[in-house]
Structure 1
Amino acid sequence: MLFQLSGLTKKFATSTAVDQVDLSVERSQFIGIIGASGAGKSTLLRMLNRLNDPTSGTIRFRGQEISSLTGAEKRAWQSRCAMIFQQFNLVPRMDVVSNVLHGTLNRRNTLATMFNIYPEKDIHHAIDILERLGISEHAAKRAQALSGGQQQRVAIARALMQDPQIVLADEPIASLDPMNAQIVMDSLRSIHDQDGKLVICNLHTLDTARRYCDRIIGMRAGRVVFDGTGDELTLSAARDIYGADSSFSEAATSTSVDVLADHKMPELAIA
């Protein structure tokens, strides 16, 4: 078994954000998680990366217990399980290539980090990743000078710099225009197709999930209420996920279903 969640639960005071989630992933896939705002999607991903600790339940990757890791072992897991955020989480005034090189921080000493000193091979690798994502010409620019779509690709490059086994993306296209959203999703899909990595992505629209994902997980009120392929994501299943009014027409198009979903540089020093 590649990845397994058993009874995974997260409570905040009196509210339950994720409620007894059981999921098994037997092989590398591109998995999309959909659901209305507050369904527990982001909390689930943050537990997988151990940014949030589970209240109960277990997370296992290749048989290793992840949910109980602490200290250096927990940081090592976070290097293996890269996280991409909706807000990019870049350092705006730092150049692009330095932002990408931040993906190596967990394996570098504090002094080298403070003085922004990187091995030459890491710098070349960072530029190679930027080239793969079509933005190497912006390597020397400050991150804040780039468009939203370009910044998200820098965030993806930073994640790849970690050489992770899993890539998690929390609504990576929610703030992007359609053209940039497609570029970012194509980039994430290529990470799965070309690198064979497990990619788990929270998504806002059903059409995007159908187009890019091998498997779709639907969440409602912290629970998994759908687990299947894009072809199996019918209007009836969408109602279960989003709590749609039963009067919503069975003849609605996929676009209508998506409407429903919407409602509810410092200089580099070479070591």
Structure 2
Amino acid sequence: MLDVKALTKTFGNNTAVDKVSFKVEKPCMIGIIGRSGAGKSTFLRMVNRLTDASSGELLFEGRNVLELKGRARREWQSDCAMIFQQFNLVPRMDVVSNVLHGTLGKRSTLGTMFNLFTQDEIHKAIDLLERLGIAEHAAKRAEALSGGQQQRVAIARALMQDPKIILADEPIASLDPMNAQTVMEALRRIHEEDGRMVIANLHTLDTARRYCDRIIGMRDGRMVFDGTPAQLTTGVARDIYGADENFSEAATSTEIRDHIHSDEAERLIAKVTV
């Protein structure tokens, strides 16, 4: 499905992403890890065409998306939805309207100007909120929701695009452990139930191991690891992060069970599953 060939991005004399290459044969959930500044966010932005690549190719189903312009580029951005760390919602707008804005890339200019949505679109938005466990908040302003709830609104907005790929740039970096687990469970279920490819930049190893089928490690713009969760050993992680023997995964864990009793964790998760 996806074939990344020597994808590179330079800013002056600095190389943010350096000849990254890999193939994805079928929909799966991929986690990209690495320290801050490794090039993870720049890579996702190039995939979504928010940032232009300096060189390389990015083939999806045989088409080089880096060559797309105008309407074709906008259509690709609908097929390749982006979820951001800071949610990117309209704070004073109600939740369901925020979700409906996921359709704007496929709407007419008139429909976009006057926020004209069909009944089918409104029902779909509410169904997505129901699926994500937050339908009761549909009429509230987005700013009234917790961070985890807002991120689920952002996921619902992405799903309104009916994308083939979901890109998530540090989707849980600003969330507490319980909400982080809720969001990751939602992304995993979307992959499994919908058959969508999910590529997420993650900052904790336990999260990548638990939810992803494949993990890519980046360091200084280069891809230095590509393997399964089982292959992501502590030694490999040290190499990815450029750390010494004092490197500890426990300090960055987002696993609920590390913070509260496991039975209580299961009860909390059951309340917010997709």
What is the TM-score normalised by the length of structure 2?
0.90
More helix by percentage: 2
* Cα contact 1:18–1:40 (8 A) shared by 2: yes
- State the aligned residue count: 254
Q: Give me the identity figure in percent.
A: 68
DSSP-derived class of the 1:149 partner: helix
Equivalents in 2 of 1:42, 1:257: separation in Å? 19
What are the equivalent positions in structure 2 for 1:180-199 lying under 5 Å apart? 180-199=179-198
| Runs of 4 or more consecutive aligned structure 1 residues displaced over 3 Å after TM superposition | 256-259
Deviation string for 1:175-204 (max 9, x for gaps)? Answer: 000110011000000110000000000001
The answer for unaligned runs of 5 or more in structure 1 is 260-271
Matched, 1:34 2:29: no
Equivalents in 1 of 2:253, 2:177: separation in Å? 14
- Which residue of 233, 251, 255 maps to 2:250? 255
Change over 3 Å in CA distance of 1:257–1:87 after alignment to 2: closer
Q: CA deviation at 1:155?
A: 0.2
The answer for unaligned runs of 5 or more in structure 2 is 255-274
Map of 1:90 onto structure 2: 89
Equivalents in 2 of 1:112, 1:26: separation in Å? 37
Deviation string for 1:32-62 (max 9, x for gaps)? Answer: 0000000000000000000001000000001
Q: CA deviation at 1:248?
A: 3.4
* Cα contact 1:238–1:257 (8 A) shared by 2: no
Map of 1:70 onto structure 2: 69
Q: CA deviation at 1:29?
A: 0.6
Equivalents in 2 of 1:147, 1:239: separation in Å? 34
Q: Structure 1 counterpart of 2:169, which letter? A: D
What are the equivalent positions in structure 2 for 1:187-266 lying under 5 Å apart? 187-245=186-244, 247-248=245-246, 254-255=249-250
Q: Structure 2 counterpart of 1:54, which letter? A: A
Q: Structure 2 counterpart of 1:49, which letter? A: N
Change over 3 Å in CA distance of 1:181–1:258 after alignment to 2: closer
* Cα contact 1:104–1:161 (8 A) shared by 2: yes
Q: Structure 2 counterpart of 1:110, which letter? A: T
Equivalents in 2 of 1:158, 1:21: separation in Å? 29
**TM-align CA RMSD:** 1.3
What are the equivalent positions in structure 2 for 1:126-145 lying under 5 Å apart? 126-145=125-144
Q: CA deviation at 1:256?
A: 5.5
DSSP-derived class of the 1:218 partner: strand
